[in-house]
Structure 1
Amino acid sequence: MKIFKSKKTFHDYIERQREMGKKIGFAPTMGALHQGHISLYEAASKENDLVFSSIFVNPTQFNNAADLEKYPRNIENDLKILENSDYVDAVYIPEVSDLYPDGLKSKSYDFDGLENEMEGKFRPGHFDGVGTVVEELLLQVQPDNAYFGEKDFQQLVIIEKLVEKLKLPVKIHGVAIYREKNGLAMSSRNERLSAEQREASKIIYETLLKVNDWFRIITVPEINQRVKDIFEDQRGMVLEYFEISDEQTLKETDFFYKGHNYRAFIVVFVNEVRLIDNMHLE
C-alpha cells in the first residue's frame, strides 16, 4: 500500500494510473478506522482496479469545538488497519493547506433544502463543511466511483446532490451500515463508550427494529410517542431526535404515502457521546 502525504506526488501517481486505464474507487474517511470503513473498501474492490482511501479530520464540519478536540486520532493504527485489509492500494493523508488553499473556511452550498433537515437543524454549517472537503477530495482524486456509508444517510444524499449539481464525473455508492454484534452501528465515536454503555446502546438498534414492525400497523405520531417513551426510561441516555422521513427529500412525514420510500432516523446522546443511526422501513 502506498502512502501519500504530498498533494503533488499523489496527483502524479493518479495521472499515471489514469494513463494506464485503471478504474479508481475511493472512500474518504476521518480516520479512527473500524470494520465499517473496511466494508467500504471491500465494496470498492469489487468494482474497481484500484481502491484509494484518505484520512483527514475535517475541522469545518464540526460546529462544536469540543467534539473536534475529542475526535479520536491514531494515524499509525489506521495505517496498520489499511495495510492489513488487503483492499486499499493507496492512502492520501493531506495537510489542511492541501484541501483549504485559501484558508480554513467552508464554501456555501445550496443542496435544495436537504441540508436544512435533521442534522442541519442541530449542526449549523455542518454540511457546508462536508461539501467543501468532499468536493475538493473528489476533484483531486478523480475517482470513477466513491463510497460512503449509509450510517450517515443524510450526508450520502447530500453528496449525491453535490455531484449532480457540480456535474462531477463520479458515481456515488451507498454501503449498508456495518453493525457490532449487538446491533449498535459501528462508529469511531463508539470508542468513547464504556463497555457497559456500549452494551446498553443496543437499545437504539432494537428501537429501530420495533419501528420497522410498527410501521405496518400504527400511525407515525403513535410511533413517535412510543420511541420517546422508550428513551425516557433509559438511564444515561437522551433522545435528541427521532423522525421518519422521505428517503428522497429527507422531509419528515406524518403519514405513509404509497409509492414513497421512508427511513427512520435517530440520534441519542449516551452521556456526552452522540450516536446516530437509521433504518430503511420495509
Structure 2
Amino acid sequence: MPLVKTKNQLKSHLAALDPKGRLGLVPTMGALHEGHATLVEKAVTENDSVVVSIFVNPTQFNDKEDLERYPRDLNADMAVLMDISDRIIVFAPSAEEMYQNDITANTYDFDGLDKVMEGAFRKGHFNGVGTVVETLLRLVAPDRAYFGEKDFQQLQIIKKIVADKSLPVEIIGCPIVRESNGLAMSSRNKRLSKTIRQEASFIYKTLIAAREKFGMKSAKQITDWVTNEFKNHADLELEYFVIADADTLSMETKKQRNKKYRAFIAVYADDVRLIDNIALNY
C-alpha cells in the first residue's frame, strides 16, 4: 500500500492504474477511527482502487489552537488502512504541497448553505473545506467520493461545489457511525476523558428525544426544550441546536408536507467541540 506525499507522486501512481477501473476517493484529516474505516471499506467494495487522503487542512480552522490540538498519527492511520485493503493509495501531503506555498482558501458562493450552523460559528470554514475538496477531486479525478453524514452540512456544500463546477464525480454520503453509547464517532473524541466521553452520550439521547417530539411540537418548542435540558449538564455547553430543511439547510419555521428535516447540534464537552445531527422525518 503506497504512501505518497506529493502531487506528482500521486499522479504517477494514478497513471499506472487500469484506465477502465473504477476509482474511489475518501478525503480525511487522519486520526482514523471506525467511522473512517466504514467509508474506506465501502469505497474498496465499490471501486477497483481507492485514494485515501490524510490532510489536516489549516484553512478550515478558524481557531489556531484547535488546529494545533487536532490529533495526528500517520503510523496509526496507515495501520488502520492496511487492515482494510492493499488496493489503497494513501496521499498525505504537507500544507505547502497541497497549497503550492500559498496557504489561502478560495471564495465560494454556496447560496446560503454556509451561513447557518457551522458557517455561522466558524467563519471561513466552508471556503477552506471547499478549497481542499475541489483540489482533491480535480487531482484524483475519482468516479466516486465518500463523505460521512456526521458532517451533513459539509456534505451538502460539497454536492453544491460539484454541481456548480460540473465535476464528473458521484458524491456518496454514508450514515453516521456511533460508539456503543450513541456518541457520533469523531477524531476529536480521543481528546475526551473517559467520564466526559460517557456524559457526551447525552447529545445523541437528546437528538433521539427531539425526533420523538417533532411530530407533536413546533421547532421553537423543541429548541427551547433542548436548551433547558443542557442547563442540567455542567460539563456540556450547548453552542447551537437547529431544526432545518435537509436540502436547503434553512431553519424550519413552519413544517411542510413532503419536506425532509434534520436536527443539527454543536456542543462543547470540556474544551472539545462535538457536532451531530439526525433525520427527523425519514
- What does 1:134-145 correspond to in 2, within 5 Å? 134-145=133-144
The residue that corresponds to 2:118 in the other structure is: 119
- Verify the 8 A CA contact 2:207 2:277 in the aligned structure 1: yes
- What does 1:109-258 correspond to in 2, within 5 Å? 109-258=108-257
CA distance in 1, matches of 2:9, 2:242: 45
Identity within the alignment, %: 47
Question: How many angstroms does 1:46 deviate by?
Answer: 2.4
What is the CA deviation profile of residues 176-213 of structure 1, one whole-angstrom value per residue up to 9, with x for unaligned ones?
00000000000000001000000000000000100110
Question: 3-state DSSP class of the match of 2:250?
Answer: coil
CA distance in 1, matches of 2:246, 2:54: 28
CA distance in 2, matches of 1:87, 1:225: 50
What is the CA deviation profile of residues 45-69 of structure 1, one whole-angstrom value per residue up to 9, with x for unaligned ones?
2221112101010000000001001
- Verify the 8 A CA contact 2:48 2:87 in the aligned structure 1: no
Question: How many angstroms does 1:18 deviate by?
Answer: 4.7
Superposition misfits of 4+ residues, deviation over 3 angstroms: none
The amino acid of 2:112's aligned partner reads G
Question: 3-state DSSP class of the match of 1:242?
Answer: strand
CA distance in 2, matches of 1:239, 1:87: 42
CA distance in 1, matches of 2:40, 2:172: 12
The residue that corresponds to 2:8 in the other structure is: 8
- The 3 A distance-change label for structure 1 pair 271 and 102 is same
- How many positions carry a matched residue from both structures? 281
The residue that corresponds to 2:48 in the other structure is: 49
- Verify the 8 A CA contact 1:25 1:51 in the aligned structure 2: yes
Question: How many angstroms does 1:281 deviate by?
Answer: 0.8
- Verify the 8 A CA contact 2:44 2:85 in the aligned structure 1: no
- Verify the 8 A CA contact 1:28 1:55 in the aligned structure 2: yes
- Verify the 8 A CA contact 1:45 1:87 in the aligned structure 2: no
Question: 3-state DSSP class of the match of 1:46?
Answer: helix
The amino acid of 1:266's aligned partner reads I
**Structure 2 portions without partners, runs of 5+:** none
The residue that corresponds to 1:264 in the other structure is: 263
- The 3 A distance-change label for structure 1 pair 6 and 66 is same
- Verify the 8 A CA contact 2:148 2:173 in the aligned structure 1: yes
CA distance in 2, matches of 1:123, 1:274: 12
Question: 3-state DSSP class of the match of 2:100?
Answer: coil
CA distance in 2, matches of 1:156, 1:132: 14
Question: 3-state DSSP class of the match of 1:243?
Answer: strand
- Over aligned residue pairs, what C-alpha RMSD do you find? 1.1
The residue that corresponds to 1:89 in the other structure is: 88
The amino acid of 1:2's aligned partner reads P
The residue that corresponds to 2:58 in the other structure is: 59
- The 3 A distance-change label for structure 1 pair 281 and 88 is farther
Question: 3-state DSSP class of the match of 2:181?
Answer: coil
**Structure 1 portions without partners, runs of 5+:** none
The residue that corresponds to 1:274 in the other structure is: 273
TM-score by length of 2: 0.97
CA distance in 2, matches of 1:186, 1:153: 14
Question: How many angstroms does 1:33 deviate by?
Answer: 0.4
Question: How many angstroms does 1:97 deviate by?
Answer: 2.8
The amino acid of 2:214's aligned partner reads F
CA distance in 2, matches of 1:166, 1:87: 32
- Verify the 8 A CA contact 1:41 1:87 in the aligned structure 2: no
